[in-house]
């Protein structure tokens, strides 16, 4: 969105979308609308109901939403619930995103139980980062919140009771509404003030690569770059990829590509198959390191049967690390090569041959706790380097006789990155 449009937004009342099924939550939606009005913003009620009803008050009726998705309300009523929900989501996302892109929407709030939360959060995930988003939900404190929020910045508010009008739940809804309104007004007042300088650079991080990441961050900040770190635990990698694709980054130092190891074996820190693709698709300068790919993560007591005879390290009470084997390293090399070959911007690949994480100093054990060997396994790690080099078409692999957390390796990463982000 251009600066002139953002400035125009700041001069008008902020508009907040209320995402709700009006057939079951009309009174609650109108209450939240009054809270938003009292907070100095303009409510815009979007009805997500799957069937025709007689409730009034929506600015965009369910029929409007269905039509935006290429259907009619009557057609949706004849569909099964899943298909109807998908069709309504298509229309709602189109309407909400179009209004935002036109500079006419400043935030969103959803109300609902499990189904309402699923739909409202899916719509809010289509909005960019930092657009205020809140979900008042009866299922806000369940494990499913990781799927509702995913890589978005949605604030989840427990409704305490079911979403209904009583003094407890009304207070919960009002708190969320006032919070979104204040954030939207603040964002609108700062329209046009977003800094373009210093350039924002992303670094993927982890405890096992902290020695490298900390030094790289300090050196790049001294060179005039602003740094945003992403913890390589699944959600961090997905967020990095999305932010890269949204055009917010000047470059990426993917020092901790660990999530691809979890992707290969099915670990709990899997960031999905899109990992290591966003920066390349956007043509951003990338410095890539196989940081912490020497292990994947499983929750204690939940290791899949096919891995029960492997080597492990108990990182903490919850997190069990499984040592990557040579076959998996070969698969990782091919996965890295495929992604690097597809990149449209400059790429450097540095490999610390003396170890990919701090765990090289540790012993491995079996699931009974008995020591079985050393974490440092040069031949195993070399399978990655060999596979990667064989698969690359235009980028050279630079192997350095260093450990990832040695200062000299961090220095080499910074030097290589500066060469591609500041070409001569």
CATH of the domain at 386: 3.40.50.12030
Same domain, 125 and 236: no
Q: Which residue spans within 246-390 are E strands per DSSP? A: 251-254, 286-288, 295-299, 312-314, 319-323, 347-352, 363-365, 371-374
Residue 74: what pLDDT? 87
Within a domain: 314: yes
The secondary structure element, H or E, covering residue 20 is strand 15-20
User: Which carries the bigger pLDDT value, residue 13 or residue 409?
Assistant: 409
Cα 303 to Cα 40, 61, 246, 309, 331: the distances in Å are: 52, 48, 36, 10, 20
Length of the chain: 424
Residue 2: what pLDDT? 47
- Rounded average pLDDT over 7-30: 84
Tokens representing residue 410 in the block = 């961090």
pLDDT band at 54 (very low <50, low <70, confident <90, very high): confident
- Give the orientation angle of helix 326-341 with respect to helix 378-391, to 10 degrees: 30
Within a domain: 194: no
Same domain, 211 and 175: no
Q: Cα angle vertex 228, ends 271, 98, to 5°?
A: 70
Last residue of one domain, picked from the residues 160, 189, 218? 189
Residue 243: what pLDDT? 94
pLDDT, one tens digit per residue, over 213-261 is: 999 999 999 999 999 999 999 999 999 999 999 999 999 999 999 999 9
Stated pTM of the model: 0.84
The answer, yes or no, to whether residue 72 has pLDDT greater than 60, is yes
Contacts by 99-102 with C-beta closer than 8 Å and gap 24+? Answer: 99/15, 99/17, 99/44, 100/127, 100/128, 100/131, 101/1
The answer, yes or no, to whether residue 3 has pLDDT greater than 60, is no
pLDDT band at 10 (very low <50, low <70, confident <90, very high): very low
- Rounded average pLDDT over 10-35: 91
> Could you check whether the bond before residue 363 is cis, i.e. omega within 30 degrees of 0?
no
Runs of H (alpha helix) within 59-143: 62-68, 73-77, 81-101, 114-124
Same domain, 378 and 412: yes
The answer, yes or no, to whether residue 141 has pLDDT greater than 90, is no
Q: What CATH number is attached to the domain comprising 67?
A: 3.40.50.12020
How far from chain centre, in Å, is Cα 327?
A: 29
Q: By C-alpha distance, which of 303, 220, 288 is closest to 256?
A: 288
How far from chain centre, in Å, is Cα 232?
A: 11
- Rounded average pLDDT over 304-317: 95
Residue 194: what pLDDT? 61
Within a domain: 195: no
Same domain, 401 and 281: yes
Within a domain: 87: yes
Residue 193: what pLDDT? 64
User: Which carries the bigger pLDDT value, residue 210 or residue 150?
Assistant: 210
Last residue of one domain, picked from the residues 166, 189, 212? 189
Q: By C-alpha distance, which of 87, 41, 42, 97 is closest to 62?
A: 87
Residue 7: what pLDDT? 44
How far from chain centre, in Å, is Cα 47?
A: 27
- Rounded average pLDDT over 181-200: 82
Q: By C-alpha distance, which of 404, 421, 129, 422 is closest to 252?
A: 421
DSSP string, 219-257: HHHHTT-EEEEEETTTHHHHHHHHHHHTT--SEEEE-B-
Q: Cα angle vertex 195, ends 193, 196, to 5°?
A: 130
pLDDT, one tens digit per residue, over 107-138 is: 999 999 999 999 999 999 999 999 999 999 99
Same domain, 142 and 45: yes
Last residue of one domain, picked from the residues 189, 221, 256? 189
Percent of the chain with pLDDT strictly greater than 70: 96
Same domain, 166 and 54: yes
The answer to whether the CB of 286 falls within 8 A of the CB of 280 is yes
Within a domain: 55: yes
Same domain, 235 and 305: yes
pLDDT band at 188 (very low <50, low <70, confident <90, very high): confident
Structurally, how many domains does the chain consist of? Answer: 2
Residue 335 to residue 322: CA distance in whole angstroms: 19
Same domain, 167 and 222: no
Q: Which residue spans within 149-308 are E strands per DSSP? A: 155-158, 200-205, 226-231, 251-254, 286-288, 295-299
Same domain, 263 and 384: yes
Same domain, 28 and 147: yes
The secondary structure element, H or E, covering residue 146 is helix 145-149
The answer, yes or no, to whether residue 1 has pLDDT greater than 90, is no
pLDDT, one tens digit per residue, over 194-213 is: 666 789 999 999 999 999 99
Residue 139 to residue 137: CA distance in whole angstroms: 5
How far from chain centre, in Å, is Cα 69?
A: 26
Low-confidence winner among 7-16, 164-173, 281-290, 351-360 (lowest mean pLDDT): 7-16
Within a domain: 329: yes
Percent of the chain with pLDDT strictly greater than 90: 85
Same domain, 167 and 219: no
Structural domain for 105, as ranges: 3-189
Same domain, 351 and 222: yes
Residue 49 to residue 25: CA distance in whole angstroms: 10
């Amino acid at each position: 969105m251009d600066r002139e449009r953002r400035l125009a937004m700041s001069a008008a009342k902020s508009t907040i979308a209320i995402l709700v099924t009006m057939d079951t939550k009309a009174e609650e939606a109108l209450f939240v609308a009054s809270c938003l009005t009292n907070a100095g913003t303009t409510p815009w009620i979007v009805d997500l109901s799957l069937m025709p009803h007689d409730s009034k008050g929506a600015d965009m009726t369910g029929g409007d939403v269905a039509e935006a998705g290429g259907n009619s309300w009557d057609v949706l009523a004849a569909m099964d619930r899943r298909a109807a929900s998908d069709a309504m989501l298509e229309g709602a996302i189109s309407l909400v995103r179009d209004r935002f892109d036109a500079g006419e929407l400043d935030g969103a709030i959803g109300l609902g139980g499990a189904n309402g939360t699923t739909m409202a959060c899916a719509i809010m995930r289509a909005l960019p980062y930092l657009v205020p988003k809140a979900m008042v939900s009866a299922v806000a404190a369940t494990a499913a919140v990781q799927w509702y929020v995913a890589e978005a910045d949605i604030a989840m508010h427990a409704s305490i009771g079911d979403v209904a009008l009583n003094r407890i739940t009304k207070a919960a809804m009002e708190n969320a509404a006032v919070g979104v309104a204040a954030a939207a007004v603040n964002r609108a007042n700062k329209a046009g003030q977003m800094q373009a300088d210093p350039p924002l650079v992303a670094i993927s991080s982890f405890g096992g690569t902290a020695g490298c990441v900390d030094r790289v961050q300090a050196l790049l900040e001294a060179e005039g770059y602003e740094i945003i770190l992403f913890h390589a635990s699944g959600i961090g990698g997905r967020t990095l990829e999305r932010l890269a694709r949204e055009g917010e980054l000047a470059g990426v130092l993917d020092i901790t590509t660990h999530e691809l190891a979890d992707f290969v074996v099915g670990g709990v820190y899997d960031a999905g198959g899109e990992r290591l693709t966003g920066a390349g698709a956007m043509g951003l300068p990338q410095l890539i390191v196989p940081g912490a790919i020497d292990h994947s993560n499983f929750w204690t007591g939940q290791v899949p049967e096919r891995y029960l005879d492997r080597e492990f390290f108990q990182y903490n009470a919850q997190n069990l690390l499984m040592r990557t084997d040579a076959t998996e390293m070969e698969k990782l090399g091919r996965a890295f090569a495929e992604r690097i070959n597809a990149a449209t911007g400059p790429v450097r690949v540095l490999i610390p041959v003396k170890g990919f994480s701090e765990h090289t100093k540790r012993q491995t054990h079996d699931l009974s706790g008995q020591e079985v060997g050393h974490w440092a396994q040069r031949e195993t790690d070399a399978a990655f380097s060999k596979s990667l080099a064989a698969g690359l078409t235009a980028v050279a692999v630079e192997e350095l006789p260093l450990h990832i957390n040695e200062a000299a390796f961090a220095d080499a990463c910074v030097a290589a990155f500066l060469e591609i982000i500041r070409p001569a």
